[in-house]
Amino acid sequence: MSAFWKCLLLCVLLSGCTAPQTRQWLADRAAGAPSRQLAVPFYPQEIHQCGPAALAGMLQFSGMAVTPATLTPQIYTPGRRGSLALELVAGVRRHQRLPYLLPGRLDALIQAVNHGQPVLVLQNNGLAVYPLWHFAVVTGVDVSRHELVLNSGRTEAMRVDFSTFERTWARGGYWALLVLDPATLPDWLEAGRALPQLAALEKYGSADAALPGYRRAVALWPQNPLAWLGLANAAVRLQRPAEAEPAFRQLVAAFPDFAPGFNNYADFLKQQGRAAEALPLAQRAVALQDADLTRQTLHEVEAVLAEGSGR
């Protein structure tokens, strides 16, 4: 084979080796993109315990004093010889932090690092028929060398080229997680991803941690009714009526067609012994959304008034 054909074959093989998201990123974003390295605490993993080691570094970076030894009984399953992604998410909430799932895109991961956030990723370092599941932390991006920097296994600051990483990450379902202090949510997050996680944090983790997250959310996304509803509901749950009522007032004033706002405000006023004030709100909720929940609230308000205990 001539040198020309050998060179052509090599070019074809090399182009085939570039993973699709990497190829797209290099075409669209390479010029002028920054590099960054974050100082993320590193814990060499014990055997089969990459989950506790990786999550401990993420939680430490977010300001929580947590070690792998603390996390192991919470998220490590001996029968599986590892941890599941859902267990790590639950572990984040348990420690009053917000788990934020990134879109499964290389550019989203690189953007997060460049914004100063390490990323917890799930990789399959084996094959589909013989998977080797592994959690690692992306701590840096080197654009000039087309490499990511990972705290992985027993190696700190391991360098992996974009394509190699993308393939192992793809086999892990492109799963990528940020661990955030709810009170200081970055302004580049997507409301549609952050707000459901705040609701889950309030329900399954800590309402005390979720409340400052909602305060931050209404500052970031004041035009999103779910942010105001979450703030008001969290304040009610924590028995802070002086914070709940202004949030409800803002909610129904700014979003006059949002039935949950009127329904929950009516229920709040009923619980405060103010059923007469709750009645028009409950009626408005039913008019907007005639459903079991809104009808139940209206019936409860009417029952209190019929007993003569509402003022």
- Give the pLDDT of the chain (311 residues) as one tens digit per residue: 443 333 333 333 334 468 999 888 888 875 566 889 999 999 987 765 788 899 999 999 999 998 888 888 777 555 555 567 888 999 999 999 999 999 999 999 999 999 999 999 999 988 776 778 899 999 999 998 999 999 998 999 999 999 999 999 999 999 999 999 999 999 999 999 999 999 999 998 799 999 999 999 999 999 999 999 999 999 999 999 999 999 999 999 999 999 999 999 999 999 999 999 999 999 999 999 999 999 999 999 999 999 985 45
Please give the domain boundaries of the chain with CATH numbers for all domains: 15-180 (3.90.70.10), 182-306 (1.25.40.10)
What integer pLDDT is reported at residue 86 of this predicted model? 86
- Cα distance between residue 114 and residue 88, in whole Å: 23
HSE-CB for 171 with a 13 A CA cutoff: 18
φ, ψ at 47 (rounded to 5°): -60, 130
**What pLDDT, on the 0 to 100 scale, is given for residue 30?**
54
Phi and psi (nearest 5°) for 153? 60, -120
Query: Do 52 and 76 touch, CB atoms closer than 8 A?
Result: yes
Query: 92-122 as b/e, with b when 16 or more CB fall inside 10 Å?
Result: bbebbbbbbebeeebeebbbbbbeebbbbbb
255/304 Cα distance (integer angstroms):
27
Alpha-carbon gap, residue 124 to 133, rounded angstroms: 5
Helix axes 85-94, 50-61, angle to 10 degrees: 40
Pairing mode, strands 133-142 and 119-124:
antiparallel
